[in-house]
Amino acid sequence: MTEDPDRPRQRGAYAKGIARRQEILDRAIEVFAERGADRTSLRSIASAVGVTHAALTHYFGSLEELLVAVYQESTVPERQQPDTLPADASPVERMIESARTNREVPGLVQLYSTLVATALEEGRPAAREFATTRFSRLRREIAATVREQQEAGRMRQDVDADAVAALVVAASDGLQTQWLLDDSAPQHEALALLDRLLRPGSR
Amino acid sequence: MTEDPDRPRQRGAYAKGIARRQEILDRAIEVFAERGADRTSLRSIASAVGVTHAALTHYFGSLEELLVAVYQESTVPERQQPDTLPADASPVERMIESARTNREVPGLVQLYSTLVATALEEGRPAAREFATTRFSRLRREIAATVREQQEAGRMRQDVDADAVAALVVAASDGLQTQWLLDDSAPQHEALALLDRLLRPGSR
């Protein structure tokens, strides 16, 4: 016999591990929604989730990695409301819609801000990788939309697609923060203004 | 005698307290510049600054309040390079200059991001007061500059000054973050683009 008799059992253990990890992650998402992402420790989350500290470390490594996993799991398309955007929606309209769906998940915007702030610190590779990858992917996707809209005549031609993409992402993030702190901040007006400034023939 | 004989001594103790607080703050600024604002505790800062935990709590209350004090002290005009802006500099040019002087203080941008992320959490009144006040003051100042520039014909008339102010602050903060994470992010190009879109006759 050349087959490894342990193979099926290993595979079963692996599948069980995946399921257990997902179970912990689902519960962690609820815990974060209730208590926020900061002032917390892997130990206190383990206790709230109902697993040992060792189990949490086994599945997620560090608090930083768990936070990234919680954010990513909370923003997978299947967990979010389907968006209601027309196919020719502008980049700014897309960011407004995305900000709206993220706001519906309790604690998600706070978790995002915490992850970005953590990414700026030294020695935080998981948060940095998360934030850098997210910004880079968003800029690339938005720049592609800008080029399409420029070709279709729905966006002014004399703007660089990559600069527009970076500006739209920055404006969306920054205005969300200002509005969460103070709902008199003109988030909607400022995004509508940016949208208008980018249309052809705006003067 | 109606004069309180303790008055001069009290005043002396008060002045000494102020000086001691400033001494601790100066040293805390150095500590933050060296090790960053996160993953730290009042206890570890006390040890690095060379005071007791009780003394730090006496002068600053909490880690959150100490972080706010460090940020505010690091950004007082006397501590910064004088700016070299012409009197008619646009709001975007002013934000670029301010971002540049802040980047020269080690750890300051990271500390700012940490404070803003902290402000978004529940139960963090000092960080929230700091961030809300800062955004509100900046928007008010920039909106005033926008109105002046509109009157002087240096900015397009058909934009709302408050919306422009919120947009410029958001773009400046967000692009700084993107650039710190990845220096291929077109921070300068995006801010120059926003500046141009706001000029009269841009089309």
Give me B134's structure tokens: 């800062």
Query: Which chain A residues are within 8 Å of B202, Cβ to Cβ?
Result: 202-203
B97 and B182 both lie in a single domain = yes
B28 and B93 both lie in a single domain = no
A107 and A188 both lie in a single domain = yes
Say yes or no for a CB contact (<8 Å) between A174 and B171. yes
DSSP-assigned states of every residue in A134-183: HHHHHHHHHHHHHHHHHHTTSS-SSS-HHHHHHHHHHHHHHHHHHHHH-T
Domain termination residue (choose one: A36, A55, A74) = A74
Q: Please, which pLDDT band fits residue A7 given cuts at 50, 70 and 90?
A: low
Give me B119's structure tokens: 């402000």
To which residue do tokens 């309209």 refer? A93
Query: What is the least distance, in Å, from the CA of A127 to any CA of chain B?
Result: 11
A64 and A92 both lie in a single domain = no
Instruction: Give Cα separations from A77 to A32, A98, A102, A131, B31 (angstroms).
Output: 19, 11, 11, 18, 42
Domain termination residue (choose one: B54, B74, B94) = B74
Say how many domains are in chain A: 2
- What are the tens digits of pLDDT across the range A40-63? 677 888 888 888 989 889 999 988
What does chain B come to in residues?
Answer: 203
A51-58: long-range contacts, CB 8 A cutoff, minimum separation 24:
A51/A24, A55/A24, A56/A24
Query: Which chain A residues are within 8 Å of B198, Cβ to Cβ?
Result: 197
Q: What is the largest CA-CA distance in chain A?
A: 79
A168 and A89 both lie in a single domain = yes
Query: What is the least distance, in Å, from the CA of B5 to any CA of chain A?
Result: 47
Which pLDDT score, from 0 to 100, does residue B1 have? 45
Q: Is the pLDDT of residue B88 over 70?
A: yes
DSSP letter assigned to residue B81? P
Say yes or no for a CB contact (<8 Å) between B189 and A163. yes
The lowest-confidence range among A85-89, A185-189, B164-168, B171-175 is A85-89
Interface probe for B, chosen from A35, A115, A181 (most Cβ of B below 10 Å), is: A181
CA separation for the pair B112, A144 (Å, rounded): 32
Structural domain contains residue B111: yes
Structural domain contains residue A203: no
Structural domain contains residue B186: yes
B50 and B138 both lie in a single domain = no
SS3 assignment, position A9: helix
Interface probe for A, chosen from B120, B136, B173, B191 (most Cβ of A below 10 Å), is: B120
To which residue do tokens 């960080």 refer? B127
Say yes or no for a CB contact (<8 Å) between B197 and A197. yes
Q: Please, which pLDDT band fits residue A153 given cuts at 50, 70 and 90?
A: very high
DSSP-assigned states of every residue in B157-185: TTS-HHHHHHHHHHHHHHHHHHHHH-TTS
CA separation for the pair A93, A95 (Å, rounded): 5
- Count the Cβ atoms, other than its own, within 10 Å of residue B141: 14
A142 and A66 both lie in a single domain = no
Which pLDDT score, from 0 to 100, does residue A8 have? 55
Which of A118, A136, A159 shows the shortest C-beta gap to B38? A118
Structural domain contains residue B202: no
Q: Is the pLDDT of residue B67 over 60?
A: yes
Say yes or no for a CB contact (<8 Å) between A156 and B203. yes
| CATH number, position A179 | 1.10.357
B160 and B61 both lie in a single domain = no
- What are the tens digits of pLDDT across the range A10-27? 567 788 888 888 888 888
Q: Is the pLDDT of residue B108 over 60?
A: yes
- What are the tens digits of pLDDT across the range B14-63? 888 888 888 888 888 888 777 765 556 778 888 888 889 898 899 999 88
Structural domain contains residue A130: yes
Nearest CA among A190, A146, A192, A193 for reference residue A165: A146
- What are the tens digits of pLDDT across the range A128-143? 999 999 999 999 999 9
Q: Which residue has the higher pLDDT, A111 or A136?
A: A136
Query: Which chain A residues are within 8 Å of B183, Cβ to Cβ?
Result: none
- Count the Cβ atoms, other than its own, within 10 Å of residue A22: 12
Domain termination residue (choose one: A21, A46, A74) = A74
CA separation for the pair A161, A151 (Å, rounded): 12
DSSP letter assigned to residue B105? S
| CATH number, position B26 | 1.10.10.60
Which pLDDT score, from 0 to 100, does residue B37 have? 59
B91 and B180 both lie in a single domain = yes
Interface probe for B, chosen from A158, A184, A193 (most Cβ of B below 10 Å), is: A193
Structural domain contains residue B203: no
Indicate the average pLDDT of chain A: 86
A24 and A116 both lie in a single domain = no
**Could you tell me if A69 and A60 are in contact, meaning their C-beta atoms sit under 8 angstroms apart?**
yes
Which of B109, B139, B159 shows the shortest C-beta gap to A120? B109
Give me A169's structure tokens: 């992402």
Say yes or no for a CB contact (<8 Å) between B163 and A189. yes
B118 and B155 both lie in a single domain = yes
Query: Which chain B residues are within 8 Å of A180, Cβ to Cβ?
Result: 120
Structural domain contains residue A153: yes
Q: Which residue has the higher pLDDT, B34 or B202?
A: B34
Residue B58 domain boundaries: 7-74
A60 and A88 both lie in a single domain = no
To which residue do tokens 């070299």 refer? B84
To which residue do tokens 């990234």 refer? A68
Instruction: Give Cα separations from B96 to B89, B103, B127 (angstroms).
Output: 11, 11, 24
SS3 assignment, position A20: helix
Structural domain contains residue A33: yes
**Could you tell me if A193 and A168 are in contact, meaning their C-beta atoms sit under 8 angstroms apart?**
no
Say yes or no for a CB contact (<8 Å) between A180 and B120. yes
Which pLDDT score, from 0 to 100, does residue B177 have? 93
The ipTM is 0.86
Q: Percent of chain B at pLDDT above 90?
A: 45
Q: What does R_g of chain B's alpha carbons equal in angstroms? A: 21
